[in-house]
Amino acid sequence: MEVVGKKFSVRFDVQTATISFNGILDVRGKEGYQPIVALFDAVVERQPELITLDVRQLEFLNSSGIATIGSGLVIKVRNNGHIRLSICCSDKYPWQRRSMKGICKLMPGIELRFD
Amino acid sequence: MGDKSIIYGDFSEAPSRSEVQIVRFTAFAQDSDQFWENGSLSAFYISNFWETYFRSLKQYTRADIRDSVRYIAAELIGNAVKYSAIPEVSIKITFNLNTPEFRIFAINKVESAKAEAYKNFIERLLTGNPEKMYIDQMEKNAADRNWQSSIGFLTIMLDYDCQLAWKFKSDDDVNTLTTTTMVCLPITGKYLSNSGEPGNGSCWQKV
């Protein structure tokens, strides 16, 4: 499963249950993020034990993207109750440490890792 | 001018002297997708421009300043693009060595009819608990399956430790108001890359 835009890609690897973000994600809210939300829905429906969100190669994410990850994935996983969530970040892009601080407050027990 | 302006928060005007007013950028286009893309490129340009003037210290690294400026500029431009009465926005960046603040101003016109809802939102933002508002908005988005952010200003306050303020000024045209959004980042003169001495402003003459 993947969503590819002009400046970004979002891919789901079934074997590792990893959603990987690449590039610059600054599309407009609501409609722009709908395909990514559909991918999140499909991933959660598979009910893996652990979902890994890998944003290490994501150079930029706007507030609609933060809202999409927070509301469209993290809260959905939390409400499911049977899936753990791990987020892989990189200090190469300092925004990741800042933005993930808020996202982690949405679900207790998120594993947050930095390279 | 004073009696025609409404201020929210601790607003102060952008300095007009050239050595303080560093960048003024205006983006405009007919096509909204192109306008959006221009806004994104503008934020990228502004952040890379500013990164070169600073050095890494404990609280902020140069990369962090770059990412912070890019995020904030993109949010301000994005808001202006979404809500402007006419497709034009000015971004004014100031770094005043006499005040401990790096400030970003976004100036655009909004329709008078839509301004009240915007003012109400700002009042809630300035009087409420931002952390609770952030979580409540995320929960609401999830419940409504609405991926329109509504957390842009909140993330600027919470994630980037910024102060926000606004000015609404009446236009000659009664159908529009000129709004100025001000964001203060806690970046001081000690971060300047050209000198270890805070207050040495020689780099500004290059701009």
Are B167 and B5 in contact, with CB atoms under 8 Å apart? yes
Write down the pLDDT at residue B120: 94
Write down the pLDDT at residue A95: 97
Write down the pLDDT at residue A28: 82
Q: What is the ipTM of this complex?
A: 0.95
Write down the pLDDT at residue B25: 57
Say what the pTM is.
Answer: 0.89
**CA pair distance B154, B75, nearest whole angstrom:** 11
Per-residue pLDDT for B2 more than 60?
no
For range B50-55, the mean pLDDT? 78
Per-residue pLDDT for B188 more than 80?
no
Per-residue pLDDT for B145 more than 90?
no
The interface residues of chain B toward chain A in range 63-102, judged by CB-CB distance below 8 A, are: 63-64, 67-68, 70-71, 74-75, 78, 82
Cβ pairs bridging A and B (under 8 Å): 94
Q: Best of A7, A24, A28 to disrupt the B interface by mutation (most B CBs within 10 Å)?
A: A28
> By percentage, how much of chain B surpasses pLDDT 70?
75
Are B92 and B23 in contact, with CB atoms under 8 Å apart? yes
Write down the pLDDT at residue B82: 78
Q: Best of B51, B59, B138, B146 to disrupt the A interface by mutation (most A CBs within 10 Å)?
A: B138
pLDDT tens profile B80-113: 877 777 666 777 777 665 565 788 888 888 888 8
Look up residue A37 and give its DSSP letter.
Answer: H
Chain B interface includes A105 (CB < 8 A): yes
**Does the beta-carbon distance from A66 to B149 stay under 8 Å?**
yes
Closest CA in chain A for residue B145: A72
**CA pair distance B176, B86, nearest whole angstrom:** 9
**Does the beta-carbon distance from B150 to A67 stay under 8 Å?**
yes
Kindly provide the residue ranges of all beta strands, DSSP E only, lying in chain B, ordered along the sequence.
Answer: 5-8, 21-28, 88-96, 101-111, 163-170, 176-185
pLDDT tens profile A59-113: 999 999 999 999 999 999 999 999 999 999 999 999 999 999 999 999 999 999 9
Q: Look-up: residue for tokens 């409540």?
A: B136
Are B177 and B112 in contact, with CB atoms under 8 Å apart? yes
Helix axes of B62-83 and B32-51: crossing angle, nearest 10 degrees: 160
Taking CB atoms and an 8 Å cutoff, what residues of chain B touch A98? 67-68, 159-160
**CA pair distance A39, A25, nearest whole angstrom:** 15
Mean per-residue pLDDT over chain B, rounded:
79
pLDDT-derived band at A14 (thresholds 50, 70, 90) equals very high
Amino acid at A114: F
* Per-residue buried b or exposed e for B52-73, using 16+ beta carbons within 10 Å of the residue's own CB: ebbeeeeebbbebbbbbbbbbb
The interface residues of chain A toward chain B in range 42-61, judged by CB-CB distance below 8 A, are: 60
Amino acid at B79: N
Taking CB atoms and an 8 Å cutoff, what residues of chain A touch B75? 62-63
**Does the beta-carbon distance from B63 to A94 stay under 8 Å?**
yes
